Amino acid sequence: MVGGEDASHADARAPDAGAIDEAPKDAGAPMDAGTPQDAGALDAMVEPDASTSDDGVEPMMCLAATQSCDQATQCCGELSCDTTSLGKVCCGEEGATCATANGEDCCRDLLCIAGRCGYELENSCGSPCTAAPALTLERQRLMAIGGSFLGICGDANHDYGFHVAPANLPASDYSLEGAVNQPVCQWHAAAIDIGMDWPASRDWLRWLIQQIQSDGITGIAEVIGSYDGQNVRYWSDSSGWGTDGEAYTGTGHDTWTHVAIHRSTTLEDHHILSGWTATSGP
């Protein structure tokens, strides 16, 4: 893993320290779904594997994932009847297969990552730096895609910005400005560096900016990256979220994209990479 302007320096402060970018110091202000079908409808029902029971009686139909239920016996296979963002529906437990971008077919707070339910966000918080749980989740998504993960906690070259834990920053740091950057944890680093070495990565970046523009994705503080691998652009709350952003005055970010989240949202799923594979997106 590499860091800062000098890729040869290793991180002496945190095990995942490989974050390799910061907002420009002269940047000033922070630069830094579906409704379940009616459970009574025929297409909400699925036949179990066996065509008949042992006594020759036709089996009851079962409810598929995301369909409203009252008890687990109504649900197909190993599905449980529990709460998701849709209400009380048939859903998968940890390790179950899933197919929704927002984890609506996974029970409770489980998320759908690479086709499996799991990865509940844990509020871990410890010195000298802890990767924000929200970004640890994005790292898992990136690993499933096959892209390079370049870090969350900044290395020794980082002395300001979202890659640094608030406890290690002066109160005047731009990444602490405003109520949206009131830290959930004083040790959470709130930026991730995503390698652009997977086929659909440039399409993903353009999609990400569009999602932020339309409020499809919220809680993002800044993005540094390139649509074409050459022209590096900067987007942020202070500079605006125009499609083309503004010229980035720092170095690097042609082969990786820096995404920072508001420090008050480090326990929330931002869906930065949700629904993407190596070759296509949602």
Domain membership of residue 198 (yes or no) is yes
Domain membership of residue 105 (yes or no) is no
Q: What is the total count of domains within the chain?
A: 2
pLDDT score for 243: 96
Q: Which residues pair with 39 in a beta bridge?
A: none
Question: Which residues have a Cβ under 8 Å from the Cβ of 248 and sit 6 or more positions away?
Answer: 24, 224, 232, 233, 234
pLDDT score for 26: 43
Same domain membership, residue 245 and residue 215 = yes
State phi, psi for 207 to the nearest 5 degrees.
Answer: -60, -45
Contact (CB, 8 A) for 276 and 145: yes
Domain membership of residue 7 (yes or no) is no
Residue 183 region, left (φ>0) first, then alpha (ψ -120 to 50), else beta? beta
pLDDT score for 54: 54
Tokens of 192: 């991730």
Domain membership of residue 4 (yes or no) is no
- For the chain, give the mean pLDDT: 82
Query: What's the predicted TM-score (pTM) here?
Result: 0.66
Domain membership of residue 282 (yes or no) is no
Domain membership of residue 64 as a residue range:
34-99
Same domain membership, residue 240 and residue 142 = yes
CA–CA separation, 120 and 125 (whole Å): 15
Q: List, for the chain, all residue ranges whose pLDDT scores fall below the cut of 50.
A: 1-17, 21, 23-44, 47-53
pLDDT score for 122: 64
Same domain membership, residue 212 and residue 87 = no
pLDDT score for 150: 95
Same domain membership, residue 155 and residue 249 = yes
Same domain membership, residue 139 and residue 228 = yes
CA–CA separation, 195 and 255 (whole Å): 6
Same domain membership, residue 261 and residue 223 = yes
Domain membership of residue 68 (yes or no) is yes
| Residue 9 exposed, middle or buried by CB count within 10 Å (0-12, 13-18, 19+) | middle
Same domain membership, residue 141 and residue 249 = yes
Same domain membership, residue 224 and residue 143 = yes
Same domain membership, residue 167 and residue 93 = no
Domain membership of residue 148 (yes or no) is yes
| Residue 7 exposed, middle or buried by CB count within 10 Å (0-12, 13-18, 19+) | middle
Same domain membership, residue 43 and residue 144 = no
pLDDT score for 94: 78
Could you tell me which of 78, 39, 73, 40 has the C-alpha nearest to residue 59? Answer: 73
Domain membership of residue 66 (yes or no) is yes
**230-241 burial, b if ≥16 CB within 10 A, otherwise e?**
eebbbbbbbbeb
Same domain membership, residue 200 and residue 134 = yes
Same domain membership, residue 210 and residue 77 = no
Q: Looking up tokens 């096959």, which residue turns up?
A: 146
Q: Which residues pair with 195 in a beta bridge?
A: 256
pLDDT score for 41: 40
What is the DSSP code string of 183-216? Answer: -SSTTEE-EEEEE--STTHHHHHHHHHHHHHTTS
Contact (CB, 8 A) for 165 and 189: yes
In single-letter form, the type of residue at position 117 comes to C
